[in-house]
A = this chain, B = another copy of it.
Amino acid sequence: MNNFTYCTPTRYLFGRNTESETGRLAKEYLGDPRKVLVVSGGSSAKKSGLLDCVTTSLRNAGIEIVGMEGIKPNPTDDRVYEGIALCRKHGVEAVIGVGGGSVIDTAKAIALGVPYDGDFWDFYAGKLTPEKALPIGVVLTIPAAGSEGSGNSVITKIDGLHKISLRSDFALRPKFAVMNPELTYTLPPYQTACGIADMMAHVMERYFTPTEHVEVTDGISEGLLRSIIAVAPCVFANPQDYDARANIMWAGTMAHNGICGCGRTEDWVSHFMEHELSAVYDVAHGAGLAVVFPAWLTYMANVAPARPARFAREVMGVPSTFDERTDALSGIERLKAFYRSIGLPVTLRELGVENADISLLVKKLHENKGEIIGGYHKLDAEATEEIYRLMV
């Protein structure tokens, strides 16, 4: 087991009607701000009345609101600059994201940029480590990215389509996260499925590790993955199944708050490869992951089958044949079958990407992430090209 630091200071308020507590939480945990920026996405939070409920709760707590709407999936740097300018103009003291990962990641980038004199992109470009940010609160509507409990934020720079993930153990963790599973009843099936693929990937990127003897972290990760796979069908059978929605929502947080990474080296190649896909082809991140992971696992079944075999046996329920490669390949078939059962693509073609420009993807991948990538198994450009080809 590796040495590690672990701290998840986010306060989760989980359950029915919790969104009406946003004002109290903002007062108590965002440093009693006079004015907050409320960042939100498309029209659904408005139509459902959620945005009204949250702003009323904030106003009742004596907090003034500056609004910023219309954050899109794969959020871009232009909206971050806009948000930073808004905060400075109005003297905003805290940022609240009402939405899913794109909204929350944008809220985090804005919160980080406001107290920094230079270009916020410096942090994403790796020139600086985040030390301080405006306090951040969250009302979650999409279980997927895990951003409500993580120190991560992914932003795409429009100039050059660089999609970069920033990770800061502490500065970017939300102070509170309001999580009402009922808010996810109206999520369309495809978006629900993408979220499930995303949270599974967050566990898997940590689970595929070269570190041995991390039994506790393995046990937690496997239990979490199994529970997601067990509950997922219920959400599609009945989108208003409160308990199923609640389990999926909580799983999304647990998948990415760090608990599945304690004591081990993580991988993250599949996320890196997907980020290039969604930056170039603007596909949904979760759907992209459902395409990348089986290909990555297929490559690994040949060169490093130990963990893929364990994944197959412990998570996908494959009976052991005592041959790692065989079991790993059976596990991949089961994983693909699961993705398909919830309506996800497992090839680039099914994802709607015909004739992908694999050379461009490989070039951008290694430009952004270095010549050799991967925590579980080191990969050069030749290897990642082969993995992209396995997705076709």
Contacts from A to B (Cβ < 8 Å): 1-16, 18, 181, 212-228, 230-231, 242-244, 246-247, 250-251, 254, 259, 262-263
Contacts and interface: CB of A to CB of B under 8 A. Distances in A.
A7 B179 CA distance: 13
A215 B14 contact: no
Contacts of A16: 3
Contacts of A12: 4-7
A11 B15 contact: no
- List the number of copies, as a whole number: 2
Nearest to A13: B5
B219 A224 contact: yes
B4 A262 contact: no
Contacts of A221: 223
A133 to B, nearest CB: 17
A247 B213 contact: yes
B230 A226 contact: no
Given A223-B224, A227-B218, A263-B250, A14 B4 contact: yes
A48 B216 CA distance: 28
A200 B15 CA distance: 28
Contacts of A213: 243-244, 246-247
Given A7-B9, A9-B9, A222-B223, A214 B14 contact: no
B262 A250 contact: yes
A1 B262 contact: no
Contacts of A11: 5-7
Q: Which of A8, A218, A230, A231 has the most CB of B within 10 A?
A: A8
27 contacts: A1-B246, A1-B250, A3-B15, A3-B16, A4-B12, A5-B12, A5-B13, A7-B12, A8-B9, A9-B9, A14-B262, A213-B244, A213-B247, A214-B247, A215-B227, A216-B224, A216-B228, A216-B231, A216-B247, A216-B254, A217-B250, A219-B225, A220-B220, A220-B223, A220-B224, A223-B223, A223-B224
Contacts of A225: 219
A254 B14 contact: no
Contacts of A6: 11-12, 14
A275 B207 CA distance: 38
Nearest to A8: B8
Contact of A14 (B3, B223, B242): B3
A59 B100 CA distance: 47
B7 A7 contact: no
B215 A247 contact: yes
Nearest to A244: B213
Given A3-B16, A6-B14, A223 B230 contact: no
Contact of A219 (B1, B7, B214, B226): B226
A45 to B, nearest CB: 21
A125 B9 CA distance: 29
Q: Which of A4, A214, A219, A263 has the most CB of B within 10 A?
A: A219
A18 B1 CA distance: 14
A219 B215 contact: no
A9 B9 CA distance: 4
